[in-house]
Amino acid sequence: MSAAGNQRAEEAFVRFDKVQKSYDGEILVVKDLNLDIPKGEFLTMLGPSGSGKTTSLMMLAGFEPATHGDIYLGGESINNVPPNKRGIGMVFQNYALFPHMTVAENLAFPLKVRKMGSAEIETKVQRALDMVELGEMGGRRPAQLSGGQQQRVAVARALVFDPSLILMDEPLGALDKQLREQMQYEIKHIHENLGVTVVYVTHDQSEALTMSDRIAVFNDGVIQQLSTPDDLYERPQNSFVAQFIGENNRLHGKVSGVSGDECKVELDGGGEIIAKTVNNTATVGERTTLSLRPERVEIEPKKGQTDNTVTGEIKELIYLGDHIRTRMEVAGNDEFIVKVPNSAGNKPLAEGAQVKVGWKAEDCRALDPMAI
C-alpha cells in the first residue's frame, strides 16, 4: 500500500487500485482497474457481457478475490475482509429473495443477523416496505409477488440495514420494458433521497444514461471511458464508446491533414471530410474511424450551415411519428442513419432519391480506427 495510494483512498469512498483478476491463470478478465468512487455517487459499470464489469462488482462485494491490487472501502483495504463483514448491500440479478421466507422475513434477515431487538426489526422492516410502496405485502412469499414487486423487495432488503454502499448487478434485466423504465426512476429517487453510494452494473446503455452520475464503460477488462452520461454521449473518447453508447454512424478513412484540433479525412468511399481530432491522436497518414450521431446530420443543408456536405442515396424510410428514420448510403456506408425531424415544411423524402447531407466538423469525431 503506497502512501500516495492511501492519500487518494481517503478521498474516495470506494477505490480500485491496480486491480487485476484472472479465473484460470491464462486470461485477465479485469486488467489494471483503477477507479475512485466518491461518497454518494451513483456510478454505473456499463459494458457488453464478458467485459469484466460484473467481476469487478463481485470483487467489491467480496465474492471473488482480486488476483492483484487493492480495493478500498472508506479508506481501508478490504481485500481480506469476508463479504459478511463488509457491510455492503447488494441487489442480485434474479433478486435472490429467499423463497422459504415471507417478504418480511426476507427483510428482517440482515437485521436478525445483527441481533437487533424484534421491535426494532419490525419498525425497520415496515419502514423499508413503505419506502418501496409494498407496505401490505410483508406476509407474502416472494413467489406470490410480480416481478416488479420482487425487484422492490430486493432493493428494500439491500437497504434495510442502512449500508452506505449498495451494489446492483443488472437488477432490472428480468423486467419488461415499461416496468424497467419505471424502476429506473424509482431507484434513482431512492438514491437521491437516501444519499447512499450506488455501484450499478448493466449492459443496457439507456439504463446507464438515465440513472447514473458517472458511467464507467468497460470493454475487454479495461475501463474505456469514465465520465458523465452527457460527456460519454457527446464526447466519446474512442470508437468503442462511440459505438456502444447511443446510435452512431461510422465512416472509415485516412487522415490527410491536421490543423489545430481539426483534421482532414479522406474517406474510403470517396470525398474529404473535416472532423474533430480526439486526444490529438490523429496524425497524417493514419487510418481513423469517424463517429457521427444521426441527429446531428442535416438533410439538404443550406450553404455554409455545415462544414461538410456529402451526397447520399436514401435506401429506406421508417416513419416513427416524431421523426423519420432514414437509412442512407453515404460514402460507401449503407447503414448511415439520419433522424429527420417531422417538423412543418419539411420536404417529403423518397426512397432511392439522391440527397445532400451535411454536418459540422465538431460533431464528427475522428477516433481510433475500427475494424471494418
Partner 1 sequence: MSDAALGTNHSANNGAASEPLIAADGIPLKQKLAKTTRRMKMQAFLLTVPLVLFLLVSFVLPIGQMLYRSVHNPTGSNVMPNFAVAIKNWDGQGLPSEEIFEVFVKDMALARKNREVGKTIGNLATRVNYEIPGARSLFTKSARRAGRITEGPYKEALFAIDKRWENPHIWLTLQRVTKDFTAAFYLAATDQKYDEAGNIVWADELYQIYLPILWKTIWLSALITALCFIIAYPVAYLLSTLPLRTSNLLMILVLLPFWTSLLVRTSAWIAMLQTEGIINNIFVYLGFISDENRIQMIYNMTGTVIAMVHILLPFMILPLYSVMKTIPPSYMRAARSMGASGTYSFVKVYFPQTVPGIAAGTLLVFILAIGYYITPALVGGNDGLLISNLIADHIKKTLNWSLGAALGTILLTVVLIFYWLYNKLVGVDNLKFG
Distance from C-alpha of 127 to C-alpha of 130, rounded to nearest angstrom:
5
Among 47, 52, 89, 138, binds partner 1 (CB under 8 A): 89
Minimum distance of partner 1 from residue 160's CB (angstroms): 9
On whether the CB atoms of residues 289 and 237 are closer than 8 A, the answer is: no
How does 82-112 read in b/e, with b if 16+ C-beta sit within 10 Å?
A: eeeebbbbbbeeebebeeeebbbebbbbbbe
Among 2, 7, 34, 84, binds partner 1 (CB under 8 A): 84
**CA angle at 342 for the pair 339 and 343, rounded to the nearest 5°:** 125
Question: Strand (E) positions, 131-196?
Answer: 165-169
Distance from C-alpha of 58 to C-alpha of 60, rounded to nearest angstrom:
5
Residue 109 interacting with partner 1 (CB under 8 A)? yes
Beta bridge partners of 201: 45, 169
Q: Which is nearer to partner 1, 167 or 361 (CB)?
A: 167
Instruction: Look at strands 14-22 and 28-37 and give their pairing.
Output: antiparallel
Q: Which stretch binds partner 1 (CB under 8 A): 45-53, 109-117, 306-314, 323-331?
A: 109-117
Minimum distance of partner 1 from residue 122's CB (angstroms): 17
Q: Which is nearer to partner 1, 114 or 347 (CB)?
A: 114
Minimum distance of partner 1 from residue 191's CB (angstroms): 18
Residue 23 interacting with partner 1 (CB under 8 A)? no
Residue 83 interacting with partner 1 (CB under 8 A)? yes
Phi, psi of 212 (to 5 degrees): -85, 150
Distance from C-alpha of 41 to C-alpha of 39, rounded to nearest angstrom:
6
Count residues near partner 1 (CB under 8 A): 30
User: Which DSSP string do the residues of 331-367 spell out, in sequence order?
Assistant: TTEEEEEEEEE--TTPPPP-TT-EEEEEE-GGGEEEE
Contacts with partner 1, 165-194, as mask; x by CB under 8 A: --x---------------------------
Minimum distance of partner 1 from residue 177's CB (angstroms): 24
Minimum distance of partner 1 from residue 39's CB (angstroms): 20
Distance from C-alpha of 218 to C-alpha of 196, rounded to nearest angstrom:
23
The C-alpha cell that represents 105 in the structure block:
422475513
Q: Which is nearer to partner 1, 109 or 218 (CB)?
A: 109
Residue 113 interacting with partner 1 (CB under 8 A)? yes
The C-alpha cell that represents 266 in the structure block:
479522406
Q: Which is nearer to partner 1, 159 or 338 (CB)?
A: 159
Among 100, 177, 302, 303, binds partner 1 (CB under 8 A): 100
The C-alpha cell that represents 47 in the structure block:
459494458
Contacts with partner 1, 122-161, as mask; x by CB under 8 A: -------------------x-xx------------xx--x
Residues that bind partner 1 (CB under 8 A): 61-63, 82-90, 92-94, 96, 98-100, 109-110, 113-114, 141, 143-144, 157-158, 161, 167
